Structure formats: C-alpha cells, structure tokens
Amino acid sequence: MANDCEASQARQAGTSSAAAKPLSVEAASAQLLAAARAIEDREQLPAMDCLGRVLAEPVISGTDLPGWDNSAMDGYALRVADLHASDGWLPISQRITAGQCGAPLAPGTAARIFTGAPLPEGADTVVVQEVCTPERDGLRIDAKISADIRTGDNIRRRGEELQAGSQVLAAGTRLGPQHLGLAAGVGAAQLQVYRRLRVAVLASGDELVMPGDPLGPGQIYNSNRFLFRALLQGLGCEVIDLGIVKDDREATLAALSQAAEQADLVMASGGVSVGEEDHVRPAVEQLGSLDLWRVAMKPGKPLAFGRIGETPFIGSPGNPVSLFVTFCLFARPFIERMQGISAAGLPTPLMLPAGFELTKPVKRRDYQRARLEIDATGKASVQRFHSTSSAALSSLTWANGLVMIPIGETIAIGDPVAFLPFAELIPGCTLP
C-alpha cells in the first residue's frame, strides 16, 4: 500500500512520523477497514439471548410463512360465487378462531373467522366484519359492497412471505429485536453467532480522576472512561477496562502489553499527540508498529492506528468530543468489520438546509456538533452548537448529529449541508 511505502521511506530517512502528511478522512477509513480482520470464534446460543450479537451463519427458514392460507382480518370466509348468487344473505355454518382448523366450507354458507385463523377448504375470500350486518342466523352484505368483493380479498396465502428453505437472515447481521422475532417466526431456537469482541481500553493522563474522588489542582473527571465503555457496550463488545494509566513511559508500555495479551483490539484515549508527556504513540511504535497517524479533520486530527504485536490498536485524542467523533467515524466501522459485519464504513450524509451561517472557511474538514430541527411549519434545518471546542462534552447531549463542513467553504442560511445523524453513527445501542 502507498501509505506503508511512505511510512517506510520516512523511517529510512530518519524522520518522525509526525512529519507525515495527514490522510484524508476517506483514505484513513479505507486503510483501517482494509486492516480489519473478522474474528473466527463462534458459539451457539438460544435465540432469546442473541440481542446485539452478530450472526456467524445464515438463518434458513424451517417452514413456510405463513404456514397455511389464513385470514388477514376478523370477518367472514365465503365463496364469492355463493355471495353473488344469493340475495346478499348467507347462513353462518361455523366459527373458526386462531389456532383452530375449521371444517370444509359447506356450499352456500359463510364461516365466522378471526385474524390468523386457517381459511376453511372451499372458501376463496374473507369479507371484513365492518361491512356485514348480522341477520337471523347469518349475515347480510349490501349489494353495492358485494359487487366490489373479489376472490382472494383479505387472505394471506401460504408461503407468500417466506418459503421453507429460504434464507431469512444473512451471516454478518447484527441482531436487533426485529431479527430475533423473525428468527423465532421461522422456528430457529438456536443461532450461531460470533463471540463477543474483546476490547481493552485505557485512558492516559495524570490529570484524570474518577467521579466520586476529590479533584486536585488541575485535575478533571475521567469522562472518557465512561464514554468509551458505553460506546463499546453499545456495539456488543466485551470491555476489558484497564483504567487510568499515568503519564509515564514504562507504565504505558506495561499497560499496552497487558492489553494486547488479553484483547482482540486495544483502544486508548490521550497520549497520541506530540507532547513530551504523550507516551502512548511512541510506546505503540516500540511494541509494534504505527501504521496511521493524523487525519486531516477537526476534531480528531491525531488519530492513531497500528499494532501491538499482532493486536490492532486505535488511539484517539484525549478530548471527549474528539474521542466520540473518531470512534463514530473510524473505530465503529473497524469494530463492526472485526465482528463479521461486512457492510461497514463511512455513512452517507443527509443533505439538508443550513440554519446557520459560516463566513470563515475551515482549514480542515470539520465535523461540528449539530441538531436537526423541525419548525412549526414542518420545515427542517440543521443548527450547529455555539462552540467548536472539542472539550465541550455538553455539545454531544445537545446535538443529534454532526454537520460535515468541507475545507474552504462558506455557508449561508438555506445552503445544503451534509448532516450525519447520531442514529447512523452509533446505531442500535444494545447492552450485553
């Protein structure tokens, strides 16, 4: 790969990786996805316990769906020819409820039938009860309504949705409630899923303190630990939490080595920039390789990717917004690819009118916190948070997405802007 050649040439020239030109968002995303390898370990679990897991084998229907011709409505099963041959009145010969099989329909009669009940042999339509009037021991249907009744009305035919032997869920599907309902509907009691991806996380920084402990001078609460853990659990990962690592080279080396031994993926927040106390990036280079560092974007420029031995590593900047944005754009697709999901990558933005102005062009592609709003007339617009600070954690609770601002562009109110909903960036938040 070209990026590998450039990195090799830089090392041979004795230059620091800091001198390498930042990659575009698309190039960085492609490089990470190309390096992702799906885990192979799988397990068979009861379908009831598979929420959020990723299918390792497709689900094949063991039955037709529906399994028989049945009524789609509460009403009356009859023959259209019998109705048209009558004066609009038919006697009721039987009553069929869901879970009960009726007798063949006697000629010239109707059967009272309920939603989901098997259609009796001989019936060719179901008339909804709302257009029927009980009369004596039968029902009457107005002639004007009768003229519009056709064969097959309100009947769900056997196998019209799915047929036995057909694939209903593909391998690589992350299982949501709807998938589990479908699997159960075709009789799948057990599912083959990939085991949970084990991700080790650590936060670097002497300034970090856990909530509940007193803050000292210059210290802050470790919000990244909670943010990291929640994002990973939302993707169904098993989190190995290594806590806070002090700004010390040996402590960082020890923590990263331990993480790589225990996990499929190592992730760290902080320590990947160029400061004297940023020990994570040089430690990764010492223990393995640093294959990507710096992306031409804001926030999140000093994103790092490499390997500790054979274990992949992703390092995000220490500011919480930078962590969140780089996780959504880069770590999430990488994790999904490792989990066996093939359809992973940068999401396609929605083009929506801006509700804000930007008169000063940005120098790097900017992902600003934004909110899609609908006014009283139903008109949609994208508003942006008042601050672009990557430390403004409250912006993530105010926003419901990100607005992507290209390099060198100005924006006027009403201009189309690229909006990435959080629902697309952190889909299906499921707990383990």
Write the single-letter amino acid at 91.
Answer: P
pLDDT tens digits, 34-71 = 999 999 999 999 999 999 999 999 999 999 999 999 99
- Going by pLDDT thresholds of 50, 70 and 90, the confidence category of residue 286 is very high
The crossing angle, in degrees rounded to 10, of helices 249-262 and 280-287 is 60
Contact 42, 91 (CB under 8 A): no
Contact 280, 315 (CB under 8 A): yes
pLDDT score of 6: 39
CA neighbor of 400 nearest in space, from 416, 415, 413, 381: 381
Tell me the C-alpha distance between 126 and 120, whole Å: 11
pLDDT score of 318: 87
* Mean pLDDT value of segment 90-96: 97
- pLDDT of residue 1 exceeding 50, the answer is no
pLDDT score of 346: 87
- Going by pLDDT thresholds of 50, 70 and 90, the confidence category of residue 207 is confident
